[in-house]
A and B are shown apart, each in its own frame.
Chain A
Amino acid sequence: MTDIIAASVLAAVPLLLAALGGIIAERAGVLNIGLEGMMLSAALVAAWVAASAATEVAGIAAAVGIGLVLGLSLGGIMVALRGDQVVVGIAFNILALGLTSYALDVITGRGGLQALSVPSGSIRARIPGLADIPWIGAFFDQHYLAYVAYALVPILFYALFRTGLGTRLRACGEFAEGARATGLNVLRTRILAMGASGVLAALAGAYLVVGDIRLFQQNMSGGRGYIALAVIILGRWAPFGSLGAAALFGASVAISFDVQARGVGIPSQVVIAMPYIVTLIAIAIAGKRARPPAEEGRPLQLSN
C-alpha cells in the first residue's frame, strides 16, 4: 500500500502542478495549451543546469526562470498581440519538442549519451512524525517539490476565491469588458497570470527530472501537459477539484504498475499507456457537463 501511495504521488504531482498553472491562466481567460511545451523546456533546463552546476536547487531555480520567461512571452503573444491561443499554444508545444530534442543532442554530443543525468542527491525530504504514520505516511516521504504542490492547493484556492486579487483575476476570465469598465487592466492581469502559469508548469517539468528518474530524455513530458488540461476540466477549474482528478490519474498509474508487478500477464506497454487511456475515458465521461470560464480563449477586442 505504501508503495502504491508513493507511486501515485510521483505520477500525480507533475499533473497537479501543471493543472494549477493552467487554472490560473484559464481563470484569467487565457487557454494555456502551452503547458506541455513549458514543462518540457523547464525539464531540459533543470537537468542541464543541475548537471552543470552540480546542485539540484540551481536547476530548479533556472527552470522557474525559464518558465516565467516563457509564460510572459506566450502571454504577450496571446493577450497583447491577440494571437489565437490554441494556434500559438500548439505551435509552441511543437517548437519545444523540436528544440529540446535538438538541444539534447547538442549538449550530450551526438551519438553519445542520449539522456542528460542529474547528480544524485537528497531525493526525499522526510517529514519527521508525519512520515511514520502507517499507510498515509508515504505522502510525507517525498521530494520537497511535492510538498510545494500540496501547499499550493489551499493557497491557490484561497487566493482565487477569497481575495480581491483572485476576484479581479476571475473577472477577467468571466466578463472582461465589465472588468475593464471598473478600471481593471485586463491585458496586464492576463499576461501576469500567464507568467504565474509558466512558473507552475516549470515546477512540474523540474519535478519530472529531480523528483523521479533524475535525467532528461527526449519528449519526457510525454503528453502530461495535455493530461493536465484534462485534469483541469475534470476538476472543474478549481484547485481542490484538480487535486482529486490528479490523484485519480496518479492512482490509476500506480495500481496498474502494482498489478503488473504481481505477475499478472499485463504487457508493460499497457501499463505505460494507462494514463492516456484513463484520460480518454475520464474526459469522455465528463463530456458536456464541463463548463469553462466564459471568456476562455477569447481575446479582448478593446484597446486596453
Chain B
Amino acid sequence: MAKTPSASSVALEPDGPQPGLRPGSDAPLARYVGSAVKGTFWTAGALIVSLAILAPLLVAGGANVIDGYAELFSATFGSFFGFGLMLVASVPLILIGLGVAVPFRAGLFNIGGEGQLLMGALLAVYVTTAAWGGGPGAFFIPLVVGFLGGAIVGGLPGVLKAWRGVNEIVTTIMLNFIVLFFIQWLLTGSLRAEDQTFAASEAANRGFRLDRLVGGHLPLGFVIAVGVAIVVYWLAQHTRAGWRQRLVGLNLRLSARQGISVPRQYFVALALGGGLAGLGGAAELIGNQFRIGPNFSPGWGFTAVAIALLARGNMLAVVPVAMFFGLLQNGESSLQANLGIPGNLVLALAAAPVIIVAAVIGYCSYRRAIMEPPDD
C-alpha cells in the first residue's frame, strides 16, 4: 500500500522510517519554512495573537488592561532611552533565535539555548575578568570565546544525533540543567565575586564592554546581532554549505542521493546553532549585565525557540520577531515596576501563538494533501 506523501515531499517519500532519523516523515519541519511573503503574513498574525493574550493575563495580575498596554508600549516608544533598552533586550533574543533557526532549517530542534548561552557567557566572564583590561576592539575576543563555548555545548548533542541517532530534544534540554548547575557550583566557589551580596561573578573589565553609538542610543551589540543575522542569512541562502543544510531539512533521501553526509550536516547545524546561542550569551554579558549570576537568563533559550518558529526558519525574519519580544521583555520590566504585574509574561506570550500557527499550518497542508492527490 502506498503511503500518502506529505505536501512538501510529494515525489520523494522514503520507503519507511530510517534509523537515526526522526520517524514518520522525511521532512519533519519543512512545512514550517515559509516563503518571505507568506511568512510575513503568518508572523504578523501570530504577533497580534500574542498581544491579545496579554489582556487576560493583565486582568489576572490585577491591572487595568488599557493602562497595561499603555505601559507596555511607552516603555519602549516613550523615550529614546526606552527604545535603546528595547534594542539591548533584543540582542540575546536575535542571536539565540538564530541559534535555534539554523538547526531548525536542517530539520532539528535546539531547545538547549539556555545551556549554550550560559556557557558562552561563562567563558566570556573568564576572558573579560582576566589580567588584561581590554582596549579598542577587544570585545571581539569574548564574543569569539562565547561562540566556541556555545558550540561545544551544542556540538555534543550534534555528535550524539549525527552518529548515534540520539534525539536532540532530550539531550539539549538535559545540557541546559547540567550547565546551569555547573555554573551554580562555580558560583559557590572560584567564580563568585567577594564584594557581591548575591552570588555573582566579577564584572567584565571596561575595556571589553560594548559601547553605545549615536549619542548612547544605539547599542553596538544590536548592530553586531543584526550583522550576524545578515551573514547567517547569506550563508544559508547563497552558499553551497547553506544549500546542503537546507536540503537535509527538506528531504533526507534526496540529500543522501546528492552525496551529502547527513550526519555531518546534523553535527554542523547543532554546533553552529549552539555557537550562535553562546554568542548571544557573551554579547549579553559584555553589553548589558557584565556579571553572570544564577538568574542571568529569564528563559531566552525558550523564548528563542518560539521566535525561530514564528519566523518560520527565515534568518532575517528572526530580527523583527526578536525585536517584538524584546519590546515585550522591556515592557514586562516596566509593568512589574509600575503596575505590580508579575514577571514571566514573555514565555507565555511567545509560546501561545506558536501552537496556533502550528495547528493552522498542519490543517492547511493536510487539506491540500487530501484535495490534490499526488501522482505516484
Contact = CB atoms under 8 A, between A and B. Distances in A.
Given A94-B305, A272-B181, A284-B160, A298 B25 contact: yes
A294 B171 CA distance: 22
Contacts of A262: none
A98 B346 contact: yes
Contacts of A151: none
A91 B360 CA distance: 14
Interface in A68-88: 77, 81-84, 86-88
Contacts of B370: 301-303
Interface stretch (A53-61, A99-107, A123-131, A162-170): A99-107
B345 interface: yes
B309 interface: yes
B350 interface: yes
A299 B362 contact: yes
B296 to A, nearest CB: 15
B28 interface: yes
Given A223-B177, A269-B184, A106 B366 contact: no
Nearest to B62: A106
B343 A105 contact: yes
A83 B22 contact: no
A223 B174 CA distance: 7
B336 to A, nearest CB: 8
Contacts of A277: 174, 178
A287 B164 CA distance: 5
Contacts of A87: 29, 32, 309, 354, 358
Contact of A296 (B24, B32, B369): B24
Nearest to A33: B169
Contacts of A279: 170, 174
Contacts of A98: 299, 344-351
Interface in B323-351: 340-351
Which of the listed residues B302, B345, B348, B370 has the most CB atoms from chain A within 10 Å of its own CB? B348
Contacts of B111: 90
B351 A269 contact: no
Contact of B358 (A88, A280, A283): A88
B351 A91 contact: yes
Contacts, number: 202
A233 interface: yes
B167 interface: yes
B23 interface: yes
A134 interface: no
B309 A91 contact: yes
Contacts of A222: 177
B170 A229 contact: yes
Given A84-B31, A106-B61, A297-B24, A280 B346 contact: no
A226 B354 CA distance: 20
A230 B20 contact: no
A292 interface: yes
A299 B366 contact: yes
Interface stretch (B1-9, B220-228, B283-291): B1-9
A77 B16 contact: no
Contact of A97 (B60, B347, B362): B347
Contact of B365 (A82, A218, A288): A82
A91 B354 contact: yes
A294 B344 contact: no
Contacts of B164: 284, 287-288
A259 interface: no
Which of the listed residues A91, A99, A291 has the most CB atoms from chain B within 10 Å of its own CB? A91
Contacts of B355: 77, 83, 88, 91-92, 95
Nearest to B171: A280
Given A94-B305, A98-B299, A102-B343, 18 more contacts: A82-B362, A87-B358, A94-B302, A95-B351, A98-B349, A99-B348, A102-B344, A105-B61, A105-B344, A106-B60, A227-B170, A227-B174, A233-B170, A267-B188, A279-B170, A279-B174, A287-B160, A287-B166
7 contacts: A87-B358, A98-B347, A223-B174, A227-B174, A276-B177, A287-B164, A291-B19
